[in-house]
Amino acid sequence: MIPKSIGVHMSESWRYVQNGETQGPVTEEELKQFIASGRLTWEDLVWRPGMADWAKARQVPELVPARPDLPAPQAQGPDARNLFEAPRAEVRSMPEGTALEGQAAVAGALEALQATKPWARFLGVLGAVGITLMVVLSILMAVVSRGPFKGLPGPLRVVLPLVYLLLGALQVPPVIHLNRYASRIGILLQSHSPADLTRALETQKSFWRYVGIFALVFTCLYAALILFVIGAAAFTGVARRF
């Protein structure tokens, strides 16, 4: 026989998830009242000590009301088994708090991604505007010969537009990644699906990989330019002596 104190403790240890946050502990009767009043639905997650993981309320026998039109199940001995029943995995109890910590971690990650989404979208839109302005400026330098572009040498009239177009083209991939990242965060916040989380993080990884390669290439170019200037200055100094 289970001591009464243990039974009371177990009945008061129910937790449930609502709006992405873990609530409780509450008693089993309180949980049933929440479901009956509509405060909780049968699709909401619940958990108590002894359960292997969180489960939907409709999947927990203690919470589902018995149907009066069905006969009560016959008690079976420990060795009784339906030969046509699929084998069941062993259910092991998990320490109280392990599942709760996992839920808290997921809720925290979703909250951080929700705060990241507007910034990713803002930078993506800002980058698209910058690319458009660079293209317009390159066209003006190539076509307009008055105003600030008056007197621009012929070679520069060809080279500068190409440089601006090249710089604009280099910014296209990160802008695409940022806008795609913001969109996938929005999908994730609606679905809470692990697959959508993976897609969002893969897009973020692609963005940072491109930024890393971009920074490495330009750092090498700057280093090469500095060495070239130093070498040219040294060569000029030596040439003047002779």
Say how many residues make up the chain.
242
| Domain residue extents for the chain | 1-64, 107-210
pTM: 0.52
pLDDT, tens digit, for every residue of 141-176?
Answer: 777 766 566 666 667 777 888 888 998 899 999 999
- CATH match of 1-64 with 1.20.140.10: no
Distance CA 35, CA 52 (A): 22
Please tell me the predicted confidence (pLDDT) of residue 181. Answer: 94
User: Tens of pLDDT along 176-207?
Assistant: 999 999 999 999 888 888 888 889 999 999 99
Residue 35 CB neighbour total at 10 angstroms: 20
| Four-point Cα dihedral 36, 42, 43, 49, nearest 10 | 100
Structure tokens at 232: 């040219």
Residues of the chain with pLDDT under 70: 1-12, 66-104, 145-154, 242
Q: State the pLDDT at residue 146.
A: 62
Say which residues have a Cβ less than 8 Å from residue 188's Cβ, sequence separation at least 6: 110, 113, 196, 197, 199, 200
User: Which pLDDT does position 9 carry in this prediction?
Assistant: 45
In this predicted structure, what is the pLDDT of residue 232?
Answer: 86
Q: How far is CA 119 from the centre of its chain?
A: 14
Is the Cβ–Cβ distance between 46 and 60 less than 8 Å? Answer: yes
The answer to whether 171 touches 127, Cβ cutoff 8 Å, is yes
